[in-house]
Amino acid sequence: MLSVGDPNTRGDPLTTAYASGKVILFGEHAVVYGRPAIAVPVTQVRACAEIQAAPSGQGLVIRALDLDLTHRLGAAIATDHPAYPLEATVRNTLNTLAIQAIPDLTLTVSSTVPMARGLGSGAALAAAIARALAQHFGKRLAPSEVSDLVYQTEIIHHGTPSGIDNTVIAYEQPVYFVRGQPIEVLDVGRRFWLAIGDTGIRGPTRIAVGDVRRSWQQDPTRYEALFDRIGAIASRARQALVEGDVGTLGPLMNENQELLEAIGVSSPELEALIHSALQAGAWGAKLCGAGRGGNMVALVDARRTKAVAAALRRAGAKGVIVSHVDRH
C-alpha cells in the first residue's frame, strides 16, 4: 500500500499512500440504529495522498487536485469549506503521531473514488492522508488508529456516522459491523463478483440520514421494525458470505432493497439500474450507501459480469465498476 522514495521533478523523496473505496452490501441506515451491516472494500477505485518535503517556513500546504484547491494549514476557513475536512484530518493525524510543530510539507491528494456516491470517497481520502503522514514520519498506525482518525473526519462530513465506512476502509477487508462492538473481519467462503452502477446523482449522506431520523422520530414503531428486518438480513448474509453461498445472498440483497425503499431512501434512477442488472441475470441487487442517488450494487456470476455491466450502461449508468471480493 505504501511506497517511499519515488523521485519527483524536484528530486525530493515522495511518500505515497493509498486507500480503497468500499460498498455496503447489507444494512446501511439500520446500522446507524445499532443493527449489523456488512461492507467490503472496492480496490478498483482509490484515494491517493502524496507528501513532499517543502522549504523551511512554508508550513503545511494541502493541494486537492480534484477539487482544484490549495490550502495552507491554519489559514482561516469556514467549517463548510471543502478544505476543512482535509485540514482536520491532517491536524488529528499529527496529534495522534505526537508531532507538535506544523511541519514544512506539501500534501497532494487525488482520488478515483466518485464523490458523494456511497463509495466512501471522504473516508478513503482521510485514510490515505493518515497513512501517508505516518509513513512520512517513519511511524506506524494500526488499522484501528486509522479507523479512529477517519471516523473524526466522517463526523465532519456526515454528522452522525455509524462507523462502518471508516472501519472497512481502514481494515481493507470485508467487515461485519455493529456500532460500538469490536469489528469482525469476514473470511468469505469464495470469490464473488460485484457490478456497481453509478446513477451520476450525488447522494449526500447527511441529508438522507437526517430524513430517515425524522421519519423514525415520527413513527418509531414502524422504523424500528424495518431496521430489525434489515438487521436480520445482514446477519443471515454474514453466514451466507462465510459459506460462499451466493444462491442465498442474491435474494437477501433484493429483500434488503425492498426495505430500503420502504424507509424512503431509494429513487427511480437507482431502481432502473437495479432492474436492468436483475434482467441481465444478476443474482441480486440493491442501492448501496445512503441512497437517493449514488450507486447500486449487484451480485453477479463471474460469467455474467460483462452482460450486467453493459445492461447497466444501457440503462443510463454514468459509470460501472466490476469488482470482486476475495478470500484473505
**Which positions from 143 through 172 interact with ligand PMV, judged by CB under 6 A?**
158, 161-162, 164-165
Q: How far is Cα 295 from Cα 288, in angstroms, rounded to an integer? A: 6
Nearest distance in Å: CB 76, ligand PMV: 28
Nearest distance in Å: CB 256, ligand PMV: 12
**Which positions from 3 through 62 interact with ligand PMV, judged by CB under 6 A?**
24, 28-29, 31-32
Question: Cβ closer to ligand PMV: 107 or 209?
Answer: 209
Question: Cβ closer to ligand PMV: 24 or 309?
Answer: 24
Nearest to 261 by CA among 226, 220, 231: 226
Question: Cβ closer to ligand PMV: 68 or 80?
Answer: 80
Nearest to 60 by CA among 86, 97, 79: 86
**Which positions from 167 through 226 interact with ligand PMV, judged by CB under 6 A?**
205, 209
Q: How many residues bind ligand PMV (CB under 6 A)?
A: 17
Q: How far is Cα 307 from Cα 311, in angstroms, rounded to an integer? A: 6
Question: Cβ closer to ligand PMV: 49 or 290?
Answer: 290
Residue number, nearest CB to ligand PMV: 289
Nearest distance in Å: CB 314, ligand PMV: 25
Name beta bridge partners: 296. 197, 287
**Which positions from 231 through 290 interact with ligand PMV, judged by CB under 6 A?**
289-290
Nearest to 98 by CA among 51, 145, 64, 167: 145
Name beta bridge partners: 300. 193
| Contact residues for 76 (Cβ-Cβ < 8 A; gap 6+) | none
Nearest distance in Å: CB 173, ligand PMV: 17
User: CA 138: distance to chain centroid?
Assistant: 27
Residue whose grid cell is 444478476: 282
Report DSSP letters for 65-106, one per residue. Answer: TTTTEEEETTS---TTSTTHHHHHHHHHHHHHTT--SPP-EE
Question: Cβ closer to ligand PMV: 154 or 255?
Answer: 154
Contact pick of 36, 120, 250, 293 for ligand PMV (by CB under 6 A): 120
Nearest distance in Å: CB 107, ligand PMV: 23
Nearest to 295 by CA among 227, 213, 194, 170: 194
Residues that bind ligand PMV (CB under 6 A): 24, 28-29, 31-32, 118, 120, 158, 161-162, 164-165, 205, 209, 289-290, 294
